[in-house]
């Protein structure tokens, strides 16, 4: 049996779901993978919940639900530093779940770098640090002999990168197309059912699918970030966000919508990887799909990705829970796979 210390950074929707999933799967992980998962530190922006001696996250969860605030706990240490946490228990995995900041990757980038330097593996749901410096983080991980896994930031419960890197190993992926953002797919689905853009957007917001600030979704930034991360991880390219040709769904000409509806086609926002020789091109484009396309039936908040390969033909994955619990499960999957590979 191996004891795995986990430091959770960011206890919002995904972080809390992660604590719950770890708690629920603790015995399962022990039995099937011989991994004894512990969460000795949970960081918010103001301090940390520190319980290095808690045997499992039971104690933490009891206090987290339903109305727990960190500050009420005897384990709460305001201003507690990452440096202290990283050096006070054996290095395991730092699970990074702070908000995605695609401008400079902070605060996650600094935290991840420091954790790697002190021997911690990383799993993250956060696109920000990866969009800003994926190549640098991979290099740092290699130098410090730790692993960085990013399923949570590249489709979460929908396996994208694992399919490309493991299931399609040895093939040449010369093209890939993904519906990678549930909010835009929901809006487009409702528009094809007759709503105008503003009505579909409002509905998505009322249902809690879209954030109040939807620009990252509807202007294609989220899809662009994910397709960038997948491409850089698969091909080892050092492409940047500004290399992705990008469009959103905010101003779809009425005639395109009408024409698609009339011909039984579907409108989708696709993240695309187009490889020609050594050259890799990335784009996010509003695309008109006919019924023969493998992603034609991926509707609502569902996501999907198709890889086109030389020897295995095309392979499509669809589905995956599109919510914090699905993202949390993707983080746990990455932790398990880190130790399987080691």
Ligand X SMILES: NC(=O)c1ccc[n+]([C@@H]2O[C@H](COP(=O)([O-])OP(=O)(O)OC[C@H]3O[C@@H](n4cnc5c(N)ncnc54)[C@H](OP(=O)(O)O)[C@@H]3O)[C@@H](O)[C@H]2O)c1
Catalytically active residues, by annotation: 226
Q: Which of 43, 49, 186, 197 binds ligand X (CB under 6 A)?
A: 43
**Residues facing residue 279 across a β-bridge:** 276
99: DSSP letter:
P
- Tell me if 73 contacts ligand X by CB under 6 A: no
Q: Give the contact letters, 323-342, x = binds to ligand X (CB under 6 A), - = no.
A: xx--x---------------
Shortest distance, position 48 Cβ to ligand X, whole Å:
8
**Contacts of 48 by beta carbon, 8 Å cutoff, 6+ apart:** 41, 42, 76, 77, 80, 85
Residue 9 near ligand X by CB under 6 A: yes
Applying CB under 6 A, what is the total number of residues that bind ligand X? 23
Helix H or strand E encompassing 215: helix 215-218
Strands 93-96 and 2-9: parallel
Q: Are 40 and 7 in contact (CB under 8 A)?
A: yes
Q: Phi-psi bin for 264: left (phi > 0), alpha (psi -120 to 50), beta?
A: left
Q: Is 126 in the site for ligand X (CB under 6 A)?
A: yes
Q: Which is nearer to ligand X, 84 or 314 (CB)?
A: 84
> Under the criterion CB under 6 A, does residue 308 sit at the interface with ligand X?
no
Find out whether 43 and 9 touch, Cβ atoms under 8 Å.
yes
The answer to whether residue 98 forms part of the interface with ligand X (CB under 6 A) is yes
Q: Are 132 and 232 in contact (CB under 8 A)?
A: no
**Residue 240 in 3-state DSSP?**
coil
If the CB atoms of residues 158 and 289 are measured against ligand X, the closer one turns out to be: 158
Asked if residues 153 and 130 have their Cβ atoms less than 8 Å apart, the reply is yes
By CB under 6 A, tell whether 112 contacts ligand X.
no
**Residues pairing with 224 in the sheet:** none
| Interface stretch with ligand X, choices 139-147, 288-296, 302-310, 319-327 (CB under 6 A) | 319-327
Give min distance, CB of 78 to ligand X, in A.
12
Distance CA 229, CA 238 (A): 10
Give the residue with the Cβ less far from ligand X, 12 or 52.
12
* 319 in contact with ligand X (CB under 6 A): no
Rounded least distance, CB 38 to ligand X, Å: 19
Min separation Cβ 325 and ligand X, Å: 8
Task: Examine residue 107 and tell whether it contacts ligand X (CB under 6 A).
Answer: yes
Least separation, in Å, of the C-beta of 215 and ligand X? Answer: 14
Residue 91 is a binding residue for ligand X (CB under 6 A)? no
242: which 2 tokens? 């500004």
**Backbone φ/ψ region at 156: left (φ over 0), alpha (ψ -120 to 50), beta:** left
Length of the chain: 342
Closest to ligand X by CB, 114 or 323? 323
Nearer to ligand X, 24 or 310 (CB): 24
**Interacting residues toward ligand X by CB under 6 A:** 9-15, 43-46, 97-100, 107, 125-126, 152, 156, 323-324, 327
């Amino acid at each position: 049996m191996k004891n795995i210390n986990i430091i959770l950074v960011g206890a919002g929707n995904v972080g809390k779901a992660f604590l719950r999933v770890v708690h629920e799967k603790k015995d399962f992980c022990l039995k099937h993978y011989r991994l004894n998962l512990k969460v000795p530190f949970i960081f918010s922006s103001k301090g940390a919940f520190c319980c290095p001696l808690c045997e499992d996250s039971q104690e933490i969860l009891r206090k987290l639900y339903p109305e727990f605030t960190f500050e009420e706990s005897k384990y709460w240490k305001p201003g507690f530093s990452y440096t202290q946490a990283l050096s006070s228990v054996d290095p395991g995995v730092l699970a990074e779940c702070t908000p995605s900041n695609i401008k400079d990757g902070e605060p996650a980038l600094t935290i991840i770098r420091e954790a790697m330097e002190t021997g911690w593996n990383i799993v993250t749901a956060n696109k920000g640090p990866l969009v800003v410096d994926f190549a640098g983080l991979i290099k740092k991980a290699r130098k410090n002999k730790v692993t960085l896994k990013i399923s949570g930031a590249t489709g979460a419960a929908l396996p994208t990168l694992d399919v490309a890197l493991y299931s399609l190993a040895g093939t040449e992926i010369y093209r890939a197309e993904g519906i990678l953002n549930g909010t835009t797919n929901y809006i487009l689905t409702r528009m094809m059912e007759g709503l105008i853009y503003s009505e579909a957007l409002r509905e998505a917001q009322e249902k809690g699918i879209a954030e109040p600030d939807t620009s990252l979704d509807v202007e294609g930034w989220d899809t662009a970030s994910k397709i960038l991360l997948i491409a850089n991880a698969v091909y080892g390219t050092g492409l940047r966000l500004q290399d992705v040709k990008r469009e959103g769904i905010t101003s779809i000409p009425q005639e395109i919508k009408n024409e698609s509806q009339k011909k039984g086609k579907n409108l989708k926002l696709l993240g695309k990887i187009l490889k020609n020789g050594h050259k890799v091109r990335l784009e996010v484009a509003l695309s008109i799909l006919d019924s023969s396309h493998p992603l034609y039936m991926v509707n609502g908040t569902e996501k999907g990705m198709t890889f086109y390969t030389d020897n295995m033909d095309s392979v499509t994955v669809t589905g995956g829970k599109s919510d914090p619990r699905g993202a949390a499960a993707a983080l746990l999957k990455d932790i398990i796979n880190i130790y399987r590979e080691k």
